[in-house]
């Protein structure tokens, strides 16, 4: 019984540290480096405890004491943490270490109003360059401009509605230049990714929509920026 109770307490502690590692950084309680360190070691601990919990459940499966309940609860918590950590590790290994994605790599939409908000960000507002574009072509060939047979201003109206619906912070809406700039704050660590949408009239009628999404922090983005662009443009197309 004592062993099972200790196992449960350790599992709850590892799960709590794993969760609070990101929120602590978001709440400015510690640095990003410390947050990632806590995250990593909490994940390692949870994986070990998950294995121990599984073994304990097996040996206690015929037990009618609280020990089996403690072991099951421990397995649930450490299993969730372990699964989450392994999932993100797999995701990070399956995508390139880039953080700047755009539908137009030859002439990427530029940030204007967003520049002052990125003044202290590790990743500058300028486009990341040719190496990033090569990796994007190889890994995200589906990220392409969106062509719509709809008036530019109407498309912008729909885009603003989608931005608001997603809960992004609108920084600028420039109808004259056909540009929207916004920021999405991610949960957990509270990372901020910036988005710029560029709307261009097509000669034979309609609108071309280009989109760029860039992280303020981090060398890689675990594929988040590409998914954001793909989902947003799909929703914009389907909203017409």
| Residue 37, pLDDT above cutoff 90 | yes
Q: How far is CA 189 from CA 8, 19, 36, 37, 230, in A?
A: 26, 10, 10, 13, 23
| Domain range summary for the chain, segments of one domain joined by + | 2-94, 100-238
The pLDDT assigned to 204 comes to 83
pTM score of the predicted model: 0.92
Average pLDDT of 32-40? 97
Asked whether the beta carbons of 236 and 159 are under 8 A apart, the reply is yes
pLDDT band at 78 (very low <50, low <70, confident <90, very high): very high
Residue given tokens 């999404």 in the structure block: 213
Give 180's strand partners.
Answer: 173, 197
SS3 134: helix
CATH of domain 100-238: 3.30.310.80
Asked whether the beta carbons of 24 and 30 are under 8 A apart, the reply is yes
Angle made by CA atoms 102, 189, 32, in degrees to the nearest 5? 100
């Amino acid at each position: 019984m004592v062993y099972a109770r200790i196992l449960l307490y350790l599992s709850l502690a590892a799960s709590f540290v794993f969760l609070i590692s990101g929120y602590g950084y978001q709440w400015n309680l510690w640095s990003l480096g410390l947050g990632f360190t806590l995250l990593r070691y909490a994940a390692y601990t949870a994986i070990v405890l998950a294995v121990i919990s599984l073994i304990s459940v097996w040996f206690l499966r015929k037990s009618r004491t609280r020990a089996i309940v403690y072991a099951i609860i421990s397995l649930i918590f450490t299993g969730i943490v372990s699964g989450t950590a392994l999932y993100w590790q797999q995701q990070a290994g399956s995508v390139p270490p880039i953080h700047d994605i755009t539908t137009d790599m030859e002439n990427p939409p530029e940030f204007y109003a967003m520049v002052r908000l990125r003044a202290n960000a590790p990743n500058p507002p300028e486009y990341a360059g040719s190496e990033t574009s090569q990796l994007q072509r190889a890994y995200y060939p589906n990220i392409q401009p969106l062509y719509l047979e709809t008036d530019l201003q109407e498309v912008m109206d729909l885009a603003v509605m989608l931005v608001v619906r997603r809960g992004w912070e609108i920084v600028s809406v420039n109808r004259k230049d056909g540009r929207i700039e916004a920021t999405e704050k991610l949960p957990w660590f509270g990372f901020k990714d910036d988005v710029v949408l560029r709307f261009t009239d097509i000669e034979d009628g309609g609108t071309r929509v280009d989109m760029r999404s860039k992280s303020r922090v981090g060398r890689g983005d675990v594929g988040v920026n590409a998914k954001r662009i793909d989902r947003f443009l799909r929703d914009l197309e389907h909203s017409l």
